[in-house]
Amino acid sequence: MSSNWKKRQESDPYVKRAREAGYRARAAFKLMELDEKDRLFRPGQRVVDLGAAPGSWSQVARQRIGEAGVIIALDILPMEPLEGVTFIEGDFREDEPLEKLEAALDGAKVDLVLSDMAPNISGIGPADQARSIYLAELALAFAGDWLDISGTLVVKVFQGEGFEALLSQVREAFRAVKVRKPRASRPESREVYLVARGLKS
């Protein structure tokens, strides 16, 4: 399995492009594609990147919102520092990371919540799918608490058991929801991204 993964990485054009451009992961190109379609970024935004490590989405966000913007990245895993990005290590469901987030935002709401979170794959399909849905639900709940009413949520989720129910939840919470499959997503992957705008009060 490890050998197959290495071969796939070596032959993946997005991996090569990421290395050449200095991005920490090929996932950067997924976010760039989403931005091209849905115009996610604008100068001066306040952005929160959930499950940010190793940091490629924060890199893209930093480039696109300019120096006046604020980016706060959260992850339970450590992440190498990125210039212009505030990193909070910890579980955002717990008090200490949330207190740090609140201090970093200084009482302001967030314009854009990004979540490229994915579970550690166990190989047990139903369990992995359930964890994927759970992480997406966490991102949705986070957005409900922190997102400005005019803000946007971008969240990764895997199609399968529970996907339609999650999509219904997101549609109940937001005025406009689109399902996107970037070209940079591997064709065999069941991952899609929900782009949700206009938080309902």
How many domains is the chain built from?
Answer: 1
pLDDT in tens, 12-55: 777 787 787 778 888 999 999 999 999 999 999 999 999 999 99
Which pairing describes strands 174-180 and 191-199: parallel, antiparallel, or unpaired?
antiparallel
Query: What is the pLDDT at residue 146?
Result: 96
pLDDT, averaged across the chain: 91
Residue 10 within a domain = no
For residue 23, the one-letter residue type is Y
Q: Is residue 28 classed as helix, strand or coil in its secondary structure?
A: helix
Range of the domain at 97: 24-199
Residue 1 within a domain = no
Query: What is the pLDDT at residue 180?
Result: 97
Residue 3 within a domain = no
Please tell me the least confidently modeled range out of 19-23, 92-96, 120-124. 120-124
Rounded Cα gap, residues 115 and 153, in angstroms: 8
Query: What is the pLDDT at residue 10?
Result: 56
Query: What is the pLDDT at residue 6?
Result: 55
Rounded Cα gap, residues 124 and 155, in angstroms: 22
Select from 6, 3, 13, 7 the least CA-distant residue to 186: 13
For residue 110, what are its two tokens? 């967030």
Predicted TM-score (pTM) above 0.75: yes
Residue 151 within a domain = yes
Query: What is the pLDDT at residue 79?
Result: 97
Residue 195 within a domain = yes
Query: What is the pLDDT at residue 5?
Result: 43
Residue 83 within a domain = yes
The DSSP result for 80-102, as a single string, is ---TTEEEEES-TTSHHHHHHHH
For residue 112, pLDDT beyond 90: yes
Residues with active-site annotation: 156
**CA-based R_g, the chain, Å:** 16
- pLDDT grade for 8, boundaries at 50, 70 and 90: low
Residue 58 within a domain = yes
CATH number, domain with residue 127: 3.40.50.150
Rounded Cα gap, residues 25 and 54, in angstroms: 7
Query: What is the pLDDT at residue 12?
Result: 73
Residue 11 within a domain = no
pLDDT in tens, 79-89: 999 999 999 99
pLDDT in tens, 145-160: 999 999 999 999 999 9
